[in-house]
Amino acid sequence: MSTTFQISLDTPAYKGALSCNTDLYINGQWVKPVEGGKIEVFNPGTYARFLDVQKVSDNPAATGKVITSVSVGTSKDVDIAVEAAEKAYKTSWGFKTPGMVRGQMLFKLADLVAQHADELAAFEALNGGKPYESARNFDVGVCINLIKYYAGWADKVHGETVETTENKLAYTRREPFGVVGAIIPWNAPLLMLVMKIAPALATGNTIVIKPSEITPLSALRFADLVAEAGIPAGVINIVNGYGNTVGEAISHHPDIRKISFTGSTLTGRKIQEASAKSNLKVVSLELGGKSPSIIFDDADLEQTIKWASMGIFMNMGQICCAGSRIFVQEGIYDAFMKGFIAAAQNLQAKTADPFVGQTMHGPQISKTQFDRVMSYIDSGKSDGAKIETGGERHGTEGFFIEPTIFTDCKPSMKMVQDEIFGPVAAVIKFKTEEEVIEMANKTTYGLACGVFTENGSRALRVAHALEAGTAWVNCYNSLDVQVPFGGYKMSGIGREWGQHALELYTQVKSVHVNIGMKI
């Protein structure tokens, strides 16, 4: 008998019931793990007064609430999932299902996500601590667009004919890998799930995916929509579990031909090692960042303050491309700081439960992440940086941290060099363009950057000089599903989103046909 999580919410932002299965989704069915076991799932910030839940208990080690538990898989469950995915690839997906038909199913899936958008956003807020309105308008909205975008590509993944001689026909095919694996993080659980699934399925692959053990609920609810969309059993398999068991098994599995991972650089290294030690599966990685925002004297001050604030404080700083290093030219420095501090304090005033209507700033995901961010704040203080605003815990319940701004920062400081993954901005004053480019590039990461100036030539010159996979000019965190996203240096390998993601999930075959050659 499968296990279901049920909860009734009566909050200012969302009123209604939520329900999802908590087992493993393998071969189109909800199944118990081979070896049993459960993972407790927490809510990082919702106050108990808003909950009417089957199980809400105090966690002795934290201030969040346990809202349910989900089944935990092991390598044995991964083996079963891979077998199901391989069978589906050969019998009911891949070349057996034309691209047009795959696209129709994905369009149906997008429609179902749209129909359940409020519910899915509520899962993101409940389990991930995202402000509900942000989850509804951004995360779920982008998911719908991503699925539709790749649905449209499903019958347009073409090879090419290659001119050789009149006695020979040569052409290429872009073919799926077969079974692919994916491991996703907790900071945008539904979006990360869709970001892997949509291009993988559009190109004919089947998939075994591990959601974060911290935030599995939206993925589990999504699985029921997969079945409703008519996608055959075994095409999508979701195995809950820990990184060192399920993630390790996916990384080493000999029948998984390609793996996509979003998460920490440290784990990315381990996945590459696993590929080398197993079957040399193709690896794509979207990893950490310590992205710079560079603000020149001639920037539009009002707009720049808003974009820079969103750049670092979006999703409580829990975003890989967060603009956490902010370089401000000396001529505009004082005016910028006055407005930037005010913006952070305004955000602080809207820090509250994710289900309160006007909340713009929620909690960190877990006590572990809360403690990590606070340790970096302490490090900044110890190294001589000055806190202009924030730097403390907000409230007494949940894992809330005040939006924090440091000045008097030096590039060598630990909190300036390391990815914090929290609402902590390090501001550094600069004089010249050459100086700031050198400081901005002095990092092991290269995921994103922002350039703010009204001088068009300088904007492009600096954007081109910065070592990052995405450069925003006079904006930040502005993403479009048609545009590729990925990093330089230790921020990753490969590009997701846009047409480039199709390359991640296909391999090229060259075909040579003799139509007149003789030997």
Residue 429 near residue 333 (C-beta atoms within 8 A): yes
Residue 59 clears pLDDT 70, i.e. is over it: no
For the chain, what's the residue count? 519
Question: What pLDDT is stored for residue 53 in this prediction?
Answer: 40
Residue 8 clears pLDDT 70, i.e. is over it: yes
Question: What pLDDT is stored for residue 63 in this prediction?
Answer: 41
In single-letter form, the type of residue at position 52 comes to: D
Residue 280 clears pLDDT 90, i.e. is over it: yes
Take residue 307 and report the two structure tokens written for it: 């974009």
Selection from 387, 389, 380 nearest residue 348 by Cα: 389
Within a 10 A sphere around the Cβ of 15, how many other Cβ atoms? 12
pLDDT confidence band for 358 (50 / 70 / 90): confident
In single-letter form, the type of residue at position 405 comes to: I
Pairing of strands 57-58, 65-71: antiparallel
Interatomic CA distance for residues 284 and 289, integer angstroms: 16
Question: What pLDDT is stored for residue 10 in this prediction?
Answer: 86
Take residue 136 and report the two structure tokens written for it: 């509804």
Q: What is the per-residue DSSP string for 150-204?
A: HHHHTT-----EE---TTEEEEEEEEE-SEEEEE--SSSHHHHHHHHHHHHHHTT
pLDDT confidence band for 48 (50 / 70 / 90): very low
**Most distant CA pair in the chain, distance:** 84
Q: What is the per-residue DSSP string for 82-112?
A: HHHHHHHHHHTSGGGS-HHHHHHHHHHHHHH
Interatomic CA distance for residues 153 and 198, integer angstroms: 10
* Average pLDDT estimate for 438-465: 98
Average pLDDT over all residues of the chain:
94
pLDDT tens-digit readout, 305-336: 999 999 999 999 999 999 999 999 999 999 99
pLDDT tens-digit readout, 475-493: 999 999 999 999 999 999 9
Question: What pLDDT is stored for residue 2 in this prediction?
Answer: 67
In single-letter form, the type of residue at position 265 comes to: T
Question: What pLDDT is stored for residue 397 in this prediction?
Answer: 82
SS3 452: strand
Q: Among residues of the chain, what percentage have pLDDT more than 70? A: 96
Take residue 116 and report the two structure tokens written for it: 């359940």
Residue 162 clears pLDDT 80, i.e. is over it: yes
Question: What pLDDT is stored for residue 356 in this prediction?
Answer: 87
Residue 256 near residue 398 (C-beta atoms within 8 A): no
Does the annotation mark 286 as catalytic? yes
Within a 10 A sphere around the Cβ of 301, how many other Cβ atoms? 17
Q: What is the 3-state secondary structure (H, E, C) of 284-295?
A: EEECCCCCEEEE
Catalytic residue among 286, 388, 402, 419: 286
* Average pLDDT estimate for 37-48: 80
Within a 10 A sphere around the Cβ of 295, how many other Cβ atoms? 27
Residue 353 clears pLDDT 90, i.e. is over it: no
Q: What does residue 161 show for φ and ψ, rounded to 5 degrees? A: -90, 145
Pairing of strands 404-407, 445-446: unpaired
Residue 136 clears pLDDT 50, i.e. is over it: yes
pLDDT confidence band for 54 (50 / 70 / 90): very low
Helices in 254-330 by DSSP H: which ranges?
265-277, 301-313
Burial environment of residue 334 by CB neighbours within 10 A (0 to 12, 13 to 18, 19 or more): exposed
pLDDT confidence band for 1 (50 / 70 / 90): low
482-509 burial, b at 16+ Cβ within 10 Å, e below that, comes to eebbbbbbbbbbbbbbbbebbbbbbeee
pLDDT confidence band for 62 (50 / 70 / 90): very low
What residues does 65 pair with on adjacent strands? 43, 58
* Average pLDDT estimate for 95-103: 96
pLDDT confidence band for 228 (50 / 70 / 90): very high
170-197 burial, b at 16+ Cβ within 10 Å, e below that, comes to eeeebbbbbbbbbbbbbbbbbbbbbbbb
Residue 376 clears pLDDT 80, i.e. is over it: yes
DSSP 3-state percent helix, strand, coil across the chain (nearest 5):
40, 25, 35
